[in-house]
Structure 1
Amino acid sequence: MRTHLRLPAAAVSAVLALATLTACGGDSSAVGSGGKVKIMVGGLDKVIYLPAMLTQKLGYFTDEGLDVQLLTEPAGVQATTSLVSGDVHGVVGFYDHTLDLQVKGKHVQSVVQFSHASGEVEVVSNKAAAEITSAKDFKGKKLGVTGLGSSTDFLTKYLAVKNGVRTDEFSTVAVGAGQTFISALQQNSIQGGMTTDPTVAQILDKKLGKVLIDMRTPEGSKAALGGPYPSSSLYMNTDWVNKNKETVQKLANAFVKTLKWMSTHSPEEIAAKMPTDYAQGGDGLYAKAIESTLPMFTTDGVMPADGPETVERVLRAFNPNLKGAKVDLSKTFTTEFVDKAK
């Protein structure tokens, strides 16, 4: 009997990403022939970044005459590194990196804002649930994040500081997402951590932990962070955007069309369009994960009012790079392209 080894879609994408970057690193100064664009995603199988793959599956990139290659990295901070180094044209990741990069002298802007909530969830293991009942209990604990310097790292530190716990009084541990996060929770390498769906849905389904802070809705983000929190977006180097406006407009057209499609279709219909390997816990659980996360998405790609101010306030609470530094929020995003797409 022959056995066929089937790699998960995210793993295959990671291999393809490595091969592509090795072959053509630093070649993102212009769009290739036929409108080829390389976009790095901070985890293609994460529901918070679902519009990237969904746009490809719906054929909207092709409709715009674009040949888009979607690559994947397990954490947004690594995806950002690929953009800064010139390996890709854009990143689907968290908007907050645009502020962090600006104070480091790198000018990057969000051109399509996918969300108006963070989409993140702080979970705690069943073993630690009795001693971690709020962010005030983070002191002395090991908390999982996708990567050090990632948006989950930023938000975890903010929640701690907001609740009277200094960043040196607990540890953040880079455990990625999916199975690596779940294994760390099971082995007590972390007592809790910040992650997204479908990882959250799998943890709850396996009864390995519980939700402590839910930021998948605008209301949940406002309660935890004090306002709308624009997170997943398409961001690109500002100079590149200015030199390639026609291509950026086509990308905006495709993504806005996807966001509108998502707002008029059920979680089950959305799940059916995605690669089957993304449904690690089964089709039903994957659809449930999408349903829980859908409220975070915008329908038009526009930056939410007061969103950038919320992100700046959150980052300034703990990020030494921003303390005393001036940030020009108007240069961290643009609505030029999504306004035309509408």
Structure 2
Amino acid sequence: MYHYRKSLAALMLLAATGAHASEKITIMVGGIEKQIYLPAKLAEQLGYLKETGLEIELLSEPAGVNAETEMLSGAAQGVIGFYDHTIDLQARGKMVESVSQFSQAPGEVILVSKAAAKDIKSPADFRGKTLGVTGLGSSTNFLTQYLAAKAGIKSSEFTTLPVGAGSTFIAAMGQGKIDAGMTTEPTVSRLVSSGGASILVDLRTAKGTEAALGGAYPAACLYMPSAWVNTHKEQVQKLVGAFAKALRYIHSHSAREITEKMPVDYYAANKQQYIDALEGSKAMFTENGLMPEGGPATVLKVLNGFDKAVQGKSINLANTYTTEFVKAAR
């Protein structure tokens, strides 16, 4: 009887482990077609996610804040969005952490419409204007508010309008619904090349980011609830390993070679424009997913500049990210 019970217990443990390992993992991406989140789709296109043996689904939301909501509701196990959400959420009593840091610069740009260019020469001119962001509570909203506050403009002195990215952002600017707005590639190149907008603040490079924000600003990453990470370390390790391979691919291949691996509809009918945009900004990606030194402190400083949820709170930055899985992947 003892041996029967022991064998039965072993079988039950094996079954439970198998079910745990094969459960579907859903990852929400805050706009999967954006170049700032390139490592996610690239890992899928190159077969790296499939190689993990896990059932992984990448779903897209137009704004990072929407993706975050899906994760908090339990509909997704992780988000590919901006690291700053881990700090904002900790301030609100929710523990999440970046397990793979994709970039060390936001990759975002504030564009000014052709019609408003004569009135907006810097963030100090935001007073009374309508500014486009992907979503309220999104990282584009965070950064826009910070740049305004740094220039002495209160959030109550301008209007932020959620307009998404891509075609919806372009339409909002073309129709005069927004005077300026923060967006990413390939939307930036589409608007600038058409003459519909000009660049006001450029956060696509480490140099531009340091000038505007005061240091490296870790942005795109895979963040997940800390409780889920702690109980699914094997799955997290495989995910991080797949994204580390995608990041290494980015640094060892040309922008053209990378573009060839992406879905055709990502080019928006202008492949060369996509290639040029990627060539100019792919240095923002980390080489393997490791958090840039000093980056979390810069992000906390930015959020403290305007985010009432963060101001006055004791934030433990060590709990907002981990390097455990990236170092093991190396």
C-alpha deviation, 1:32, in angstroms: 6.0
1:124 maps to 2:112 = yes
Q: State how many pairs are aligned.
A: 313
Partner of 1:264: 252
Is the contact between residue 206 and residue 284 of structure 2 (CA under 8 Å) also seen in structure 1?
yes
- 1:209 counterpart = 2:197: yes
- 3-state SS, counterpart of residue 48 of structure 1: helix
Q: Aligned pair 1:314/2:299, yes or no?
A: no
TM-score (norm 2): 0.93
Aligned position for 1:232? 220
- Over the residues paired in the alignment, what is the CA RMSD in angstroms? 1.2
Q: Distance in 2 between matches of 1:226 and 1:128?
A: 27
Unaligned runs of 5+ in 2: 1-17
**Cα displacement string for residues 156-202 of structure 1 (whole angstroms, at most 9, x for unaligned residues):** 00000001111111111100001111111111110110000010010
Aligned residue for 1:176, secondary structure, equals coil
Please, which of 122, 125, 147 is the counterpart of residue 137 of structure 1?
125
Determine the C-alpha separation between the residues in 2 that align with 1:31 and 1:241: 17
**Cα distance in 1 for residues equivalent to 2:271 and 2:304:** 40
Check if 1:87 corresponds to 2:75.
yes
Within a 5 Å distance, the mapping from 1:26-175 to structure 2 comes to 34=22, 36-175=24-163
Distance 1:294 1:210 in 2: 21
Q: Is the 8 A contact 1:202 1:281 kept in 2?
A: no
Question: Relative to structure 2, which stretch is displaced further, 32-41 or 299-308?
Answer: 32-41
Relative to structure 2, which stretch is displaced further, 213-222 or 283-292?
283-292
Contact 2:21 2:235 in 1 (8 A): no
Paired position in structure 2 for 1:294: 282
Q: 1:223 and 1:176 mapped to 2: Cα distance?
A: 26
Once superposed, which parts of structure 1, at least 4 consecutive aligned residues long, lie more than 6 Å away?
Answer: none
1:88: how far off? Answer: 0.6
Cα shift readout 1:20-79 (whole Å, capped 9, x = no counterpart): xxxxxxxxxx97663532110000100000111100111111222222110010000000
What SS is found at the alignment partner of 2:160? strand
The one of 169, 172, 177 equivalent to 1:181 is 169
Q: Secondary structure at the match of 1:147?
A: coil
For the Cα contact (< 8 Å) 2:21–2:54, is it kept in 1? Answer: no
Contact 1:161/1:317, CA 8 A, preserved across alignment: yes
Establish whether residue 200 from structure 1 lines up as the match of residue 196 from structure 2.
Answer: no
Asked whether 1:274 is paired with 2:239, we answer no
Deviations 1:192-240 (A, max 9, x none): 1000001001001211011111000111110111110000000000000
One-letter code aligned to 2:244? V
Over 3 Å counting, the alpha-carbon distance change for 1:260 and 1:269 in structure 2 is same
Instruction: Give the letter for the 2:59 counterpart.
Output: L
What TM-score do the two structures reach when normalised by structure 1?
0.90
Letter in 2 for 1:285: Q
8 Å CA contact retained: 1:222, 1:228: yes
CA distance in 2: counterparts of 1:295 and 1:195, whole angstroms: 18
Q: Deviations over 1:91-144 (max 9, x none)?
A: 100000001110111100000000000111001011111111111111111010
Counterparts of 2:21 and 2:236, CA distance in 1 = 15
> Looking at CA atoms only, which structure, 1 or 2, has the larger radius of gyration?
2
Asked if 2 retains the 8 angstrom alpha-carbon contact of 1:35 and 1:65, the reply is: no
Shift of 1:295: 1.8
Q: 1:218 aligns with which of 195, 200, 206?
A: 206
1:247 maps to 235
Instruction: Supply the distance in 2 between the matched residues of 1:313 and 1:31 (Cα, whole angstroms).
Output: 43
What is the CA-CA distance between 1:287 and the residue it aligns to? 1.1
Q: Which runs of 5+ in 1 are unaligned?
A: 1-29
2:287, 2:55 → 1: CA distance?
A: 24
